[in-house]
C-alpha cells in the first residue's frame, strides 16, 4: 500500500448550538403536554440568533413564526405543524454539522505534534460571511444588460462552449424556465460574417468595435450590422464580460468593480455599495436583510426575500490544535483496511473508454468531437454488444450481464461478511470489530493506487481532548474522497483567509506530483443558484471555462475546443493542443455534477481516473432484507454505523393515538436505542424515541413511506470532546492527505515526443503506404484473411511488390479489416496491389461476404509508439500479422476456437521471450495489465471469483500449452509459426535496445509492450477483444505467479 500523510491543517464542521442543550430541552419536556412543548418552543425562538437563522433559511417561515410569537392566534393543527417544523430546525441547529446558512459552520485548525487543544473565542465566537444569492446576481446582470448605456460599453466574447464541426458551429444555449437554467444544443452556420465576428471577439470587443469591422465587408449596412450583433448576443453566441464568475474574487464585488469602470453608473454603484455594507454587518438583527431587499426592489429588478441572501458561518478560536498522533492512528488503520474495500467504479467512464476505443483506437481526437452526440460517441450513453462463439469468455458476467450461467459464486469477502453478520445476530452483538487476523483470510480486492490527494471526513468521538490524545477515541468515517483534498474545501475559502492559503499550499504540493501536467480548474455555472456552492477563489493557475466566465487571463484559459483526447492502455488522456501538455481537470468544490451537461460531467468524472476516489465498507445488499445491520469497526475507525430498517409491511398498523406506547413496543422488539438518526439520503434528523414530538415526526414519515432507515446516533454529550461555554457540541472533521507518486508514464511519453524530430505521420493514397479497409462480418474476417490476404501478401513479398504489411481488426460503423501495405522503392506499387486484391476479392463481393472496400489515409500513431521507434513497431506488426494469418489458416470449427485462446497464451508468452523478459518481469507486467482491464470491466469480487474458477478449470491445459518443450505433434506446425515470429522479434529487440542506448529518452520496451500485446490479441480474436484480453492476462498472471512460487520452493529445498 502506498504511503500517505496528512497536511498541517484540518477543518471542523459543527452546528451553531450545543447538542447538550437540545437533549436537556427534551428531558425537561419529556412528560409535558403539547401546550407546554409549544410554549417552550416559543421561549427558545424569542432569541434573535434563532430568529436570524430561520430568516436566512426561509423568510416565509420566519414571517409565519414571528406572527405566532407575537401572539397571533392560529388553529391547533397549524400550531402543531409550525411548532414541529421549528423543532426539526432546532435539531438541525444543535446536531447536524453540515454547513448551511446559520445552522452550522466551520473553522480551520492546525495538526501538530502537540496535545489536542481547542478553545473558542468567547467574545467573538462567530463570523458571518454574507453575499447576494447567485440566482439574484444573475438576474441583476440580465437587468443591467438591457440598459443600452451599459450594454454598449461592455466587452463581448464568444460563448466558451462554442466549437466547430464541418461548416457549422455548435454551442450550448441557456434557456430560463421558471428562473431555472436549462441548456439546449444550438448551432449556427459558418459564414464570412460569423468568422469575422468570432475572430474580433476572441480577445474581447465592444459592440461598436465589432460593427466597425463588419462594415469593412461589402454589402452590409450599419443598421444591419448592429441588428446582426444584437441577434448573436440574444442567441448567446456572444457573451458579455458581466457573465457571472464562480472563481476568483466574489462575483458581486467583481460586478461592482466592472461597473466602476463604466460611464453613467454612479447611482447603480452607490446602491450596490449600500447593499455590500449591509451584507458585512455582523449583527443578528434581521433589519439589515430587509434593508437589502428594499434597495433592490426600489432600484433594480423585482425580487422576493426568498433565496436572496446566502450566508456562510465561521467560528473563531483562541487555539485549535489536533494532535498529529491521532491523525496518524486513523491513517494507519485506513492504510490497512483500504485494500480490502470495495472500489466504486464509474460505469459512464468505462463505457466511454470502450466505445472510444472501438471508434478511434488510440487516435487522438478533439474532445468536442468525441463528446458530440451526433458525430462522436457522446457521454453517458449505453453500449451494445454482440455474440460469437467465444469459449474463453463464456459465462462471464460483466457489469451485470451474463452470457450463460445464472448463478454468481460468492468470493471470500462476501463469505466473510456473511459469517460475521450471522455471528453478530446470533450473539445479539451490535458491533462487529474487524481485526488484522480477519483480513488475512480475505483476498485484497483492489490494487488501484491511492489518488495523489484526498480527504477523510468523519466525526471524532471521545469524552475529552485528553481521551483523544490517550488513543481513547473512535473516528466514524463518513467519506474518503478525492482526487483532491480541496474538493470539499474550496467553497469555504472566501470566508476563511487562513483556509484559502492552506488550500493553495495543498494544491501546490498536489501539482508537484506531475510537474509536466497542467492541473486546470473546471469553471462552469450549471444553474445560477448552484453558484452559491461553486464560488471559490482562484486556486489554480489554469482554468477550463465552460459556460462560465474565467478569473484568469486568456493565456491561462484552456478552451473546450483546444482539448484533445485519446485512450492509451485503458487510460483516458486529455491534452491541450495549444500548450502540448496533458491536462488534469479538477473541480475544487463540492457539487453533484452527475446531473450536469455531458462535457461538464465528463471533465469532473475524469478526476477519478488515476486512482480510487471513494471506499465503501458496509454490509452491502446481501442483507438488505434484514431489519438490523450491526456497526462495523476496524481499529479506531467506525467503517459503518449500526442501522435499523423499519418496513411498514412488517410492523403493526400505525396508531392514531398513544403513539408513545406504540413506539416503546417497537423499540423494545427491534432493540432500537433512545437516540437515533432518521436517514434520508444525505439528510439526517435526530430522533429521541422517548420524546413525543420526535415520535410525531417519525409517524408522519411512516405514513408516507414504506421503508424508514434509522442510524445509530453517537454524538451524545459523553462522546463529544468539543465544547463551548462548558456545553458539548457534535463535530465533523475534514482531514486532508497527500501521497508520494511517480510521474505518470503516459505524461512522460507526451513530453518526450516533443524533444525528437517526428517521422512522417500521414500517408495519402499513392504514397509508400497503401491503406485498405475491407468490410465483412465478424467470422468472415478470418475467411478473408486466410483465403485472400495471406496468399496475396505472400505473393507480393515474393515478387518484392511490397516489403512489409500488417493488419488489425476494427469496428466503427461495421466490422472490417484494416490492412497496410508498404513499399518505399516503387511509388506506383499500389496500382499492382489494388489490381491483384480486386481479382481475389471479387468472388467474395459477389457472394456478399465482403460488403465494401475503401482506400484511406494512413495516420501513424506516433504518440503511442514513439518518434524513434515508430518504424520498428511497424516491423513488429508485420511479423506478428504473418504469424497470426498463418495460424488462423490452420483453425476450423469449435476446436479451432479452443486452440485460438490457448495459442493466445503461448503467443503472449513467446512475445515476451523475444524481448528478453524474465519470469518475474512477465509476472509484473501481466499483473499490471490484468488489473487495468479488470477495473475497466467493473472489477469487484464477483468477477474475480469467476476468473479464478475459469482458471482452475483450465489450469492443466494452460500449463501444457505454455510448456516450452511441448511435444504434441498435432501442435508442431502452429508452434513453429510463433517460433519464427520470436526469432524475428528478437532481432527487432536488439535494434530497440541500441536506440535506447543512443537516445535515452526514446520509448523503452516496457512502455511499448502493452500496446504490442494488445495488437497481437486484437489480430487473433474475432470479437470482444478487450474482454478476451482480460481473461488471457488473468490466466498468465496466475500461471506466472505459480511458476515463481515453484522456483522459490525449489531454491528453498536445495
Q: Note the pLDDT of residue 536.
A: 92
Q: Note the pLDDT of residue 839.
A: 95
Where is 35: in which H helix or E strand?
helix 34-44
Q: Note the pLDDT of residue 908.
A: 97
Is 459 in a helix, a strand, or coil?
Answer: strand
CB 518 within 8 A of CB 576: yes
CB 770 within 8 A of CB 494: no
The reply to whether 421 falls in a domain is: no
Compute the distance between CA of residue 130 and CA of residue 281 in angstroms, rounded to an integer: 9
Compute the distance between CA of residue 144 and CA of residue 157 in angstroms, rounded to an integer: 17
Q: What angle do CA 590, 593, 599 make, to 5 degrees?
A: 130
CB atoms within 10 A of CB 274: 14
Q: Is the domain of 851 the same as that of 873?
A: no
Q: Note the pLDDT of residue 398.
A: 62
Compute the distance between CA of residue 25 and CA of residue 83 in angstroms, rounded to an integer: 14
Q: Note the pLDDT of residue 400.
A: 41
CB 633 within 8 A of CB 474: yes
Share of the chain above pLDDT 90, in %: 67
In the predicted model, what is the mean pLDDT of residues 649-678?
A: 94
DSSP 860-900: --HHHH-TTTHHHHHHHHHHHHHHHHHHHTT--HHHHHHHH
Q: Is the domain of 604 the same as that of 704?
A: no
Residue 136 has pLDDT above 80, yes or no: yes
166 Rama class: left (phi>0) / alpha (psi -120 to 50) / beta? left
Q: Is the domain of 168 the same as that of 246?
A: yes
Q: Note the pLDDT of residue 719.
A: 98
If one counts the domains in the chain, the total is 5
Report residue 166's pLDDT band, with 50, 70 and 90 as the boundaries: confident
List the single range of 89-98, 136-145, 176-185, 1037-1046 with lowest mean pLDDT: 176-185
Q: Is the domain of 778 the same as that of 896?
A: no
The reply to whether 86 falls in a domain is: no
Q: Note the pLDDT of residue 407.
A: 32
Cell numbers placing 738: 497527500
pLDDT, tens digit, 9 for 90 and up, residues 900-918: 999 999 999 999 999 999 9
Is 183 in a helix, a strand, or coil?
Answer: strand
Report residue 779's pLDDT band, with 50, 70 and 90 as the boundaries: confident
**Mean per-residue pLDDT of the chain:** 89
List the single range of 74-88, 144-158, 348-362 with lowest mean pLDDT: 348-362
The reply to whether 35 falls in a domain is: no
The reply to whether 871 falls in a domain is: yes
Boundary of a domain, candidates 818, 839, 860: 860
pLDDT, tens digit, 9 for 90 and up, residues 986-1025: 999 999 999 999 888 889 999 999 999 999 999 999 888 8
Residue 658's domain comprises 642-713
Q: What is the length of the chain? A: 1054
Whichever domain contains 852, its CATH number is: 3.30.70.100
Q: Note the pLDDT of residue 175.
A: 77
Report residue 800's pLDDT band, with 50, 70 and 90 as the boundaries: very high
The reply to whether 886 falls in a domain is: yes
Residue 568 has pLDDT above 60, yes or no: yes
Q: Note the pLDDT of residue 751.
A: 46
Q: Is the domain of 699 the same as that of 788?
A: no
CB 335 within 8 A of CB 147: no
Whichever domain contains 650, its CATH number is: 3.30.1490
Compute the distance between CA of residue 444 and CA of residue 341 in angstroms, rounded to an integer: 8
CB 5 within 8 A of CB 331: yes
CB 582 within 8 A of CB 518: yes
CB 1041 within 8 A of CB 1033: no
Where is 165: in which H helix or E strand?
strand 163-165
Chain-centroid distance of CA 165 in Å reads 27
Cell numbers placing 215: 462594415
Boundary of a domain, candidates 821, 836, 860: 860
Q: Note the pLDDT of residue 573.
A: 93
Strands in 742-829 per DSSP E: 762-763, 769-776, 804-811, 815-822
Q: Is the domain of 698 the same as that of 770?
A: no
Residue 766, C-beta contacts closer than 8 angstroms, at least 6 positions apart: 827, 830
Q: Is the domain of 840 the same as that of 958?
A: no
How distant, in Å, are the alpha carbons of 526, 878, 885, 1011 from that of 985?
Answer: 54, 10, 17, 15
Cell numbers placing 444: 485484497
The reply to whether 103 falls in a domain is: no
Q: Is the domain of 832 the same as that of 870?
A: no
Where is 128: in which H helix or E strand?
strand 126-132
The closest alpha carbon to 97, from 476, 502, 498, 588, belongs to 476
Of these ranges, 297-301, 967-971, 1026-1030, the one predicted with the greatest mean pLDDT is 1026-1030
Q: Is the domain of 789 the same as that of 879?
A: no
Report residue 754's pLDDT band, with 50, 70 and 90 as the boundaries: very low
Q: Is the domain of 801 the same as that of 843?
A: yes
* Helix, strand, coil % over all residues of the chain, rounded to 5: 45, 20, 30
pLDDT, tens digit, 9 for 90 and up, residues 179-218: 666 788 888 999 999 999 999 999 999 999 999 999 998 7
Boundary of a domain, candidates 827, 860, 893: 860
Question: At 243, phi and psi to the nearest 5?
Answer: -55, 135
Instruction: Calculate Rg over the CA atoms of the chain.
Output: 34
The reply to whether 365 falls in a domain is: yes
- Tell me the pairing of strands 542-545 and 517-523: parallel
The reply to whether 914 falls in a domain is: yes
Report residue 739's pLDDT band, with 50, 70 and 90 as the boundaries: confident
Q: Is the domain of 655 the same as that of 590?
A: no
List the single range of 162-166, 448-452, 535-539, 1047-1051 with lowest mean pLDDT: 448-452
The single-letter DSSP state of residue 814 is: S
Residue 466 has pLDDT above 80, yes or no: yes
In the predicted model, what is the mean pLDDT of residues 885-893?
A: 91
- Tell me the pairing of strands 628-629 and 9-15: unpaired
Compute the distance between CA of residue 368 and CA of residue 599 in angstroms, rounded to an integer: 8
pLDDT, tens digit, 9 for 90 and up, residues 615-659: 667 787 778 889 999 999 999 999 999 999 999 999 999 988 889
Q: Is the domain of 145 the same as that of 175?
A: yes
CB atoms within 10 A of CB 1026: 18
Q: Note the pLDDT of residue 1010.
A: 93
Amino acid at each position: 500500500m502506498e504511503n500517505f500523510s496528512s497536511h498541517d491543517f484540518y477543518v471542523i464542521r459543527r452546528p451553531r448550538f450545543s447538542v447538550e442543550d437540545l437533549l436537556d430541552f427534551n428531558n425537561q419536556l419529556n412528560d409535558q403536554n403539547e401546550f407546554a412543548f409549544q410554549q417552550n418552543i416559543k421561549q427558545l425562538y424569542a432569541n434573535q440568533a434563532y430568529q436570524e437563522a430561520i430568516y436566512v433559511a426561509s423568510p416565509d417561515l420566519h414571517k409565519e413564526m414571528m406572527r405566532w410569537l407575537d401572539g397571533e392566534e392560529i388553529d391547533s393543527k397549524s400550531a402543531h405543524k409550525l411548532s414541529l417544523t421549528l423543532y426539526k430546525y432546532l435539531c438541525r441547529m444543535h446536531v447536524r454539522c453540515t454547513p448551511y446558512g446559520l445552522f452550522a459552520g466551520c473553522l480551520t485548525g492546525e495538526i501538530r505534534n502537540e496535545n489536542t487543544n481547542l478553545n473558542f473565542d468567547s467574545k467573538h465566537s462567530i463570523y458571518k460571511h454574507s453575499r447576494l444569492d447567485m440566482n439574484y446576481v444573475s438576474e441583476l446582470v440580465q437587468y443591467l444588460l438591457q440598459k443600452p448605456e451599459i450594454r454598449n460599453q461592455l466587452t463581448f466574447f464568444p460563448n466558451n462552449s462554442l466549437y466547430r464541426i464541418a461548416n457549422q458551429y455548435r454551442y450550448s444555449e441557456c434557456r430560463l424556465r421558471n428562473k431555472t437554467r436549462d441548456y439546449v444544443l444550438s448551432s449556427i452556420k459558418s459564414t464570412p460574417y460569423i468568422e469575422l465576428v468570432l475572430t474580433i471577439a476572441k480577445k474581447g470587443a465592444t459592440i461598436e468595435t465589432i460593427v466597425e469591422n463588419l462594415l469593412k465587408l461589402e454589402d452590409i449596412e450599419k443598421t444591419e450590422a448592429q441588428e446582426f450583433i444584437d441577434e448573436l448576443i440574444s442567441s448567446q453566441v456572444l457573451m458579455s464580460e458581466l457573465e457571472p464568475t464562480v472563481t476568483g474574487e466574489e462575483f458581486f464585488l467583481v460586478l461592482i468593480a466592472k461597473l466602476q469602470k463604466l460611464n453613467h453608473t454612479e447611482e447603480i454603484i452607490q446602491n450596490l455599495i449600500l447593499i455590500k455594507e449591509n451584507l458585512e454587518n455582523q449583527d443578528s438583527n434581521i433589519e439589515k436583510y430587509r434593508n437589502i431587499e428594499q434597495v433592490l426592489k426600489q432600484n433594480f429588478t423585482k425580487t422576493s426575500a426568498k433565496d436572496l441572501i446566502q450566508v456562510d458561518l465561521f467560528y473563531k478560536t483562541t487555539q485549535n490544535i489536533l494532535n498529529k498522533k491521532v491523525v496518524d492512528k486513523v491513517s494507519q488503520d485506513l492504510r490497512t483496511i483500504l485494500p480490502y474495500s470495495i472500489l466504486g467504479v464509474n460505469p459512464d467512464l468505462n463505457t466511454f473508454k470502450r466505445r472510444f476505443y472501438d471508434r478511434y483506437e488510440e487516435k487522438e481526437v478533439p474532445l468536442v468531437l468525441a463528446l458530440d452526440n451526433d458525430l462522436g460517441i457522446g457521454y453517458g450513453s449505453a453500449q451494445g454488444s454482440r455474440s460469437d462463439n467465444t469459449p474463453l469468455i463464456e459465462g462471464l458476467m460483466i457489469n451485470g450481464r451474463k452470457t450463460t450461467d445464472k448463478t454468481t459464486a460468492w468470493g471470500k469477502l462476501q463469505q466473510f461478511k456473511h459469517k460475521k453478520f450471522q455471528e453478530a445476530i446470533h450473539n445479539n452483538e451490535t458491533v462487529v470489530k474487524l481485526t488484522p487476523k480477519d483480513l488475512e483470510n480475505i483476498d485484497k480486492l483492489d490494487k488501484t493506487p491511492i489518488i495523489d490527494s484526498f480527504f477523510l471526513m468523519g466525526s471524532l468521538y471521545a469524552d475529552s481532548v485528553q481521551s483523544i490524545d490517550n488513543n481513547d477515541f473512535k473516528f466514524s468515517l463518513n467519506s474518503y474522497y478525492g482526487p483532491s483534498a480541496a474538493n470539499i474545501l474550496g467553497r469555504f475559502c472566501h470566508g476563511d483567509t487562513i483556509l484559502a492559503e492552506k488550500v493553495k499550499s495543498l494544491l501546490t504540493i498536489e501539482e508537484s506530483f506531475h510537474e509536466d501536467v497542467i492541473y486546470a480548474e473546471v469553471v462552469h455555472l450549471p444553474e445560477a443558484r448552484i453558484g452559491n456552492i461553486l464560488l471559490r477563489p482562484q486556486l489554480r493557475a489554469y482554468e477550463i471555462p465552460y459556460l462560465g466566465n474565467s478569473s484568469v487571463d486568456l493565456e491561462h484559459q484552456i478552451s473546450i475546443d483546444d482539448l484533445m483526447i485519446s485512450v492509451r492502455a485503458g487510460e483516458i488522456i486529455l491534452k491541450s493542443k495549444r500548450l502540448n501538455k496533458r491536462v488534469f481537470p479538477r473541480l475544487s468544490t463540492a457539487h453533484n455534477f452527475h446531473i450536469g451537461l455531458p462535457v461538464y460531467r465528463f471533465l469532473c468524472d475524469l478526476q477519478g481516473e488515476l486512482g480510487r476516489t471513494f471506499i465503501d465498507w458496509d454490509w452491502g445488499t446481501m442483507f438488505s432484507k434484514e431489519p438490523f445491520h450491526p456497526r462495523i469497526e476496524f481499529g479506531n475507525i467506525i467503517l459503518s454505523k449500526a442501522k435499523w430498517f423499519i418496513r411498514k409491511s412488517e410492523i403493526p398498523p400505525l396508531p392514531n393515538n398513544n403513539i408513545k406506547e406504540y413506539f416503546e413496543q417497537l423499540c423494545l422488539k427491534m432493540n432500537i436505542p433512545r437516540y437515533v438518526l432518521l436517514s434520508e439520503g444525505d439528510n439526517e434528523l435526530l430522533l429521541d424515541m422517548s420524546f413525543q414530538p420526535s415520535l410525531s415526526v417519525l409517524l408522519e414519515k411512516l405514513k408516507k413511506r414504506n421503508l424508514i432507515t434509522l442510524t445509530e446516533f453517537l454524538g451524545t454529550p459523553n462522546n463529544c470532546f468539543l465544547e463551548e461555554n462548558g456545553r458539548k457540541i457534535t463535530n465533523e472533521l475534514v482531514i486532508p492527505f497527500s501521497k508520494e507518486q511517480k510521474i505518470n508514464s503516459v505524461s512522460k511519453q507526451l513530453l518526450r515526443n516533443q524533444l525528437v524530430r517526428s517521422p512522417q505521420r500521414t500517408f495519402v493514397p499513392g504514397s509508400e503506404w497503401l491503406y485498405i479497409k475491407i468490410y465483412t462480418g465478424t467470422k468472415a474476417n478470418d475467411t478473408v484473411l486466410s483465403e485472400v490476404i495471406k496468399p496475396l501478401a505472400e505473393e507480393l513479398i515474393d515478387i518484392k511488390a511490397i516489403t512489409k504489411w500488417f493488419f488489425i481488426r476494427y469496428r466503427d460503423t461495421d466490422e472490417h479489416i484494416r490492412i497496410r501495405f508498404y513499399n518505399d522503392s516503387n511509388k506506383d506499387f499500389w496500382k499492382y496491389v489494388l489490381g491483384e486484391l480486386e481479382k481475389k476479392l471479387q468472388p467474395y463481393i459477389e457472394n456478399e461476404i465482403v460488403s465494401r472496400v475503401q482506400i484511406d489515409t494512413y495516420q501513424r500513431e506516433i504518440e503511442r509508439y514513439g518518434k524513434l521507434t515508430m518504424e520498428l513497431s511497424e516491423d513488429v506488426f508485420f511479423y506478428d500479422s504473418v504469424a497470426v494469418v498463418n495460424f488462423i489458416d490452420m483453425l476450423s470449427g469449435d476446436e479451432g476456437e479452443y486452440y485460438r485462446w490457448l495459442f493466445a497464451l503461448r503467443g503472449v508468452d513467446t512475445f515476451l521471450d523475444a524481448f528478453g523478459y524474465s519470469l518475474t518481469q512477465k509476472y509484473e507486467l501481466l499483473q499490471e495489465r490484468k488489473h487495468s482491464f479488470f477495473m475497466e470491466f467493473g472489477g469487484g469480487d464477483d468477477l474475480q471469483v469467476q476468473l479464478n474458477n475459469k482458471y482452475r478449470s483450465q489450469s492443466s491445459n494452460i500449463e501444457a500449452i505454455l510448456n516450452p518443450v511441448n511435444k504434441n505433434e498435432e501442435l508442431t506446425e502452429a508452434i513453429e509459426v510463433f517460433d519464427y515470429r520470436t526469432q524475428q522479434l528478437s532481432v527487432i529487440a536488439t535494434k530497440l535496445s541500441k536506440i535506447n542506448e543512443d537516445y535515452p529518452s526514446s520509448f523503452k520496451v516496457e512502455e511499448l509492450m502493452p500496446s504490442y500485446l494488445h495488437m497481437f490479441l486484437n489480430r487473433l480474436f474475432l470479437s470482444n477483444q478487450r474482454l478476451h484480453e482480460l481473461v488471457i492476462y488473468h490466466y498468465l498472471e496466475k500461471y506466472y505467479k505459480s511458476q515463481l512460487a515453484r522456483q522459490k520452493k525449489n531454491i528453498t529445498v536445495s
